[in-house]
Structure 1
């Protein structure tokens, strides 16, 4: 998965960014340190978690100003400017609101963005995020001195581009894997020259997000590895204590285990985005999905009154549930007059939808329905994943009494399924591309 690199202006500086994935949820990743958008895809230990998130969300990632493919700048980059850069990337990607992923110095800008643009930011997951590395009476927790010295030596004494960062922060397996080391060395060389790396370190050490903390009113999850040689745990806790919705999650392992596919960073982001950990060890299944929605329910309730509406709704639910039993469906969720159900076979879902349509129509009730088939994650007794969102979008396109079926579901259906006819191609809100849809015909 190598998304196309694009450029957008933030002020008078061009930023390089890329967008991958699909879905309604939106994530912006402000990664730690010097980065390079095109070299990162050769290091799956870096890009894997973004690709994992792309299964459930649209993900924008960018090179911060001064590094990688973005314009070089002079002077330290203050956190308010970094926040404006995040918003510029969101605008270019078409994101109205997003959850932010902030890695170390990238996290300073995330905190400022949540304070300065509160209507745009839904939450933050911070990977070793602190408020500042500035040491003073209010904040006595700077970067661990030995680490500062080592980083300065790496950036200013010829060590940049040799992969020595891995020796500091990665476990033994990664730092001694020839493939990882080679790819990482190339990533470093493309992200920054030694002088640029030294500038980035200086800019990071001077950054201070403390003036913005009182105005951060979104959930902030702070991930911290125990005994990290880079970040003082007390600094992470200090930040949590100065946020109204901050919490620390302390983890075993090493720094890079956080950001890899299956690691804590994508798991916490999925939790914040979806309320479930879709990719965190969940069982995955290929299923057919049906979404139903009773048409005109609000108007009907207003016309007939509360007691009569309750009886109509109870009758409708009974019709749907009986149809699910007859056709081997499993009720997943019910919201008001709508249902989400799963089936082992697409043909079962189609026959069930036709049954619901015909029986409801005989009762004077019209139902719009959508059917799709795809892979879902089974979590906490429910299901999650892009296929669920796609099915809901298909149903939303149906008119009263209509059943729309995705081309995927028709392809997977057995030969004896209910007749379908072409319904054209449509876009599904929040999902990429155009979808070929079919209209379910009369029951056989």
Structure 2
């Protein structure tokens, strides 16, 4: 798998949507990100890159930048949810994908919901993480975010955009004190969109409402949410899962919104098992080894009997003999202490 896959463009109406195809798994998986994205810089962030490689390990992964962010075209007018959904169709067509599973994260979720309802024949499965059908509070949706909270968030984002503080503190609080993480996401923010652009994208997310399609969806659906998610309330995920026919709902501990930080393997494992029926065992750093410690019996008495000169000669002979056997059986000398040896061998 190349370090940075080739970026291509699909045309959705008059808008060019940047996308990449990674991996050669048996089934297509379209990854629709939320917040902001940049399909090329994503591979420079170690957390995000690991997450994408794991997805590509069991799929033919198709990832994209939503219109208005990353390498996709900027737009003068805010697109409708249906226009954004159609960007997914355009990317699938360009990538030669007739049918795929969709994985929507955060703001990418509503696009996937509408796609699954509009193109059921092209949707093999639907995986959703940290997302919502509606974000803003309404008389018939009291669990949404109040408008004054959205306004405060907009003011902070515009003032601090490009510093990494928003992404680290609110989207990945587990890494908020990690200077390198903040620096990486400061660049990510600047590469992805301007301060005015992110303000427009947040307004667009706040106006999104995909509740009307929930009961129409018939694709197998997995909804994953972290209990302490600071950005999207867990109650919104429960609401969505309850209204999608046969949806499987998984609630995980943690407060990181980005799925590629925190207990990433828990998220990836759920998605992989849902889509393939199996789950990779996490790589273990445990090894089977034999540890050997030697000690000369009654060394103190023997040293007193032999005297210093003969005792040192005996120790030299002892050490030479032990090292010869270590070399013979591919052992590793760890330490020597007086007349004792500490060594290890691979295997039993």
TM-score class normalised by the smaller sequence: 0.7 to 0.9
Aligned to 1:382: none
Asked if the contact 1:144/1:230 (under 8 Å) is kept, the reply is: no
Structure 1 position 114 matched with structure 2 position 116: yes
Asked if the contact 2:222/2:274 (under 8 Å) is kept, the reply is: no
**Superposition TM-score, scaled by structure 1 size:** 0.60
Asked if the contact 1:68/1:192 (under 8 Å) is kept, the reply is: yes
How far off is 1:214 after superposition? 2.2
Whole-Å separation in 2 of the counterparts to 1:181 and 1:54:
26
Moved more, 192-201 or 40-49: 40-49
How far off is 1:232 after superposition? 2.1
Structure 1 position 249 matched with structure 2 position 250: yes
Q: 3-state DSSP class of the match of 1:196?
A: helix
Structure 1 residues 17-56: aligned runs within 5 Å: 17-56=19-58
Q: 3-state DSSP class of the match of 1:41?
A: helix
Structure 1 position 206 matched with structure 2 position 207: yes
Assess, with a 3 A threshold, how the Cα gap between structure 1 residues 214 and 44 changes in structure 2: closer, same or farther.
Answer: same
How far off is 1:33 after superposition? 1.4
Assess, with a 3 A threshold, how the Cα gap between structure 1 residues 242 and 274 changes in structure 2: closer, same or farther.
Answer: same
Whole-Å separation in 1 of the counterparts to 2:139 and 2:148:
21
Asked if the contact 1:262/1:280 (under 8 Å) is kept, the reply is: no
Assess, with a 3 A threshold, how the Cα gap between structure 1 residues 147 and 55 changes in structure 2: closer, same or farther.
Answer: farther
Structure 1 residues 23-422: aligned runs within 5 Å: 23-143=25-145, 148-157=150-159, 159-164=160-165, 165-172=167-174, 174-256=175-257, 258-260=259-261, 262-278=264-280, 280=282
How far off is 1:169 after superposition? 2.5
Asked if the contact 2:230/2:255 (under 8 Å) is kept, the reply is: no
Moved more, 75-84 or 191-200: 75-84
Moved more, 252-261 or 80-89: 252-261
Q: 3-state DSSP class of the match of 1:272?
A: helix
Q: Deviations over 1:114-157 (max 9, x none)?
A: 00010111112111121111322322221366863453123322
Asked if the contact 2:30/2:62 (under 8 Å) is kept, the reply is: yes
Whole-Å separation in 1 of the counterparts to 2:258 and 2:131:
16
Whole-Å separation in 1 of the counterparts to 2:264 and 2:202:
29
Q: 3-state DSSP class of the match of 1:126?
A: strand
Aligned to 2:12: 10
Q: 3-state DSSP class of the match of 2:22?
A: strand
How far off is 1:268 after superposition? 2.1
Q: Deviations over 1:393-429 (max 9, x none)?
A: xxxxxxxxxxxxxxxxxxxxxxxxxxxxxxxxxxxxx
The number of aligned residues is 281
Whole-Å separation in 2 of the counterparts to 1:91 and 1:184:
31
Asked if the contact 1:64/1:70 (under 8 Å) is kept, the reply is: yes
Q: 3-state DSSP class of the match of 2:241?
A: helix
Kindly name which structure, 1 or 2, has the bigger radius of gyration based on alpha carbons. 2
Whole-Å separation in 2 of the counterparts to 1:152 and 1:259:
24
Q: 3-state DSSP class of the match of 2:98?
A: coil
Whole-Å separation in 1 of the counterparts to 2:148 and 2:230:
9
Structure 2: runs of 5 or more not aligned: 286-348
Structure 1: runs of 5 or more not aligned: 284-444
**Superposition TM-score, scaled by structure 2 size:** 0.76
Higher strand share: 1
Whole-Å separation in 1 of the counterparts to 2:25 and 2:253:
31
Assess, with a 3 A threshold, how the Cα gap between structure 1 residues 201 and 79 changes in structure 2: closer, same or farther.
Answer: same
Asked if the contact 1:35/1:67 (under 8 Å) is kept, the reply is: yes
